[in-house]
Structure 1
Amino acid sequence: MRSIEEHLAAVLATVHPTPVVELPLVDALGCTLAEPVRSRVDLPGFTNSAMDGYAVRASDCAGASEETPVELPVEGDIAAGDTRDLELTPGRCWRIMTGAPMPAGADAIVPVELSDGGTDRVRLRLAPEVGRHVRARGEDVRAGDELLAAGAVVTPGRLALLAAANVATVPAHTRPRVAVISTGDELRDPGTELGHGEIVDSNSLMLVALVRAVGAEPVLRARSRDDAGSLRAVLDEAADAADLVLTTGGVSMGAYDTVKEVLADSGSVDFAKVAMRPGMPQGHGVIGEGRTPLVTLPGNPLSAMVSFHVFVLPAIAALQGRDGDVDSWRSGAVPARAGAGWASVRGKTELTRVTLRHGLAWPASGQGSHMVGALADSNALAIVPPEVTAVVEGDEVACIPLVGAGSWSGAGVPS
């Protein structure tokens, strides 16, 4: 039996980054930068006011106070978005709004709250120092500064930064194309009238949703019957269409585990028992003429979910060009305290389904690999090391947030 780290190392050895293309910003969300990106402009692009108030020469307000205000004539108004090239005459001021360009000659802002709000003449009750409430051009970013390093994921906030820096396209890895194959004669679509022994194919829908949630592109969702010919045809189609192929089901020791039956003798796919619970039966390798990476996941729903987080997430990150190692499966874990105790098994890493609330990890009611009822309410997996046989209330546990599970209610979100 191999460790999680040993199996993940074998999976990552089959994966190579996707090609690099220039992506327009509108298409770059969730993609990974292949090269550093630099600003094309200063940010802010012009010196502007940080407050609603009056643009002044600081020297013209010397001695101003609550008791002895300084009175100045008002030249006019400068609104945010004003593009005029304005100048401040000594001994006068401009009424100005937040974000509006500073007129030449002005070097400070008196907030409107420290004035009588005049529009023709104004009484100012502050003697500001030079630079008070002024945002200088380039104080945030200078043209040519590195905005984002290679390997950075384009988030909504980073997208806004790139756009503000006048960057139109970014060099990024193409979204990994992922094919999802479920296997089993008993599988049916949601909403189908189920016969005896038939079940809904929930795993493939879950995996497609997870793939999409992490910035990859599901390009194929297929289902194979429990016969070798059907599976081979689906695998061939998937290998041609995708950068990564996922299968679910058919990898245990049963007589009708078709995935294992078809691929075990290929010489390019390896099946192993991994010292983890749930998710012990695993497989990986390459298929097709292009040697497309393949990860075979167990068919039990919880096992498939856990295996995705442990093995598939790092593989997708590697396809996206991000650095990863055998410990990357737990790199996003957050600390918590056990809200209640639970038993574990010696010799295997247990990944316990928990709900994180205000820094406490509460175990789900059902932990069997076939149980999906509590999966909807869980938002993390608590990592229990192989040497631990019982988690006691108050023990510190590292918890992997589940993809797409929403907020962690005070537990923290990985960076």
Structure 2
Amino acid sequence: MLPRLAGLLLWMLSLAVQAAPLLLQGHIGNAAVVMELNIGQGGEVDGRYFYRKYHQDLALSGKRMADGSLQLGENLQYDEQRNDLTLQPQDGGWRGQWHGPKAARSLPVTLAPYEPAQWPASTDAALKPIRQRSGYDYTRLAGLSLKPGKRERMQGHTLQWWDEPVSKIRLFRVLDGYPDASLQRLNQLLAERQWQEVASYFDCQLGGTHSAGADFEQTITPHLLSSKLLSVSIFTSYYCGGAHPDFADNPLTIDVATGQAVQLEDLLWLGKGKPQLGRQAGGERKDYQYEEKVLAPWLASTMARLHPADTKPGNDDDCDYRDPQVWQFVSWYATPQGLYLGPSFARVARACEYPEWSVLPWSLVKQHPGARPDLLP
């Protein structure tokens, strides 16, 4: 995963990992809501809530007063201060008034702790990781449904696309061409990834409430469905608040036999001995010594040898594909021709990213096999 996209995703998970957020459910007026609040030791408060009918987040920020009450503003811009919601602790929950930034009248608010036993049931096993991470996100996603889209044939397989109407996030499932057990594992991982992307869409929208809005659009391109590997590009263009919009590809490559995600060093390894790159529990790399000192220099020289015309320095010095630094953090996926590896550039040269030509043929990859040579064609 590219560092800038990893940073975005870590930010998207930040609400879930803060210490002891309050998860509440109740009503504003007659409308059912779910709310999550983080109350800091210094009295600062931030959070979010959504109306069950509409699913979209409204950001909350404010402070806890000396009497224990909360005064919160809704969807405040960075330079705004406003009190739209006042909550008083009462009987283990909260009661108060909402009058909103443009409301003609105030509405009563009643909130109570939202315990896991009260969360909605779901027959979709792909929501389990979301449920384990965040009851708030799980409750919202359990209220959504996927709609069947088009079917298409690709590389001997039938793909059924599924669309989530609110976020417009779509991903396919594989209907045939693999053993039933493999199909079940593949589609489970694809479904989990789709729901994760839907959750990321809502988190991005939340980030945009403090600025000029948000944008989160994806292009999904399956590249390889072989007997051993399924590989798909998941390209996201996003603006979640902050100074600039951005884009990144965060592909997914799956071992067909096991349904497990595949790492680049499973297929390609240039170090000494067997691949032994330390990873954290979530799969993130602990350090990038191998990428900086081994992988990047090799890719820079190899791409220059394989694609001399495309990597030849031109009038635009920004696109220096012979610089090892641009190959240190690559996005990659598998294709019938070989491994596609996309370089990464500084913001001023982002147009240089994702060139069509940067493919290592399988014949070359086989000369440098990774931890899973059995996955190579």
Please give the TM-score of this superposition, normalised by the length of structure 2. 0.27
Higher helix share: 2
Comparing both chains, which one has the higher relative contact order based on Cα–Cα distances under 8 Å and sequence gaps of 6 or more?
A: 1
Tell me the TM-score normalized by structure 1.
0.25
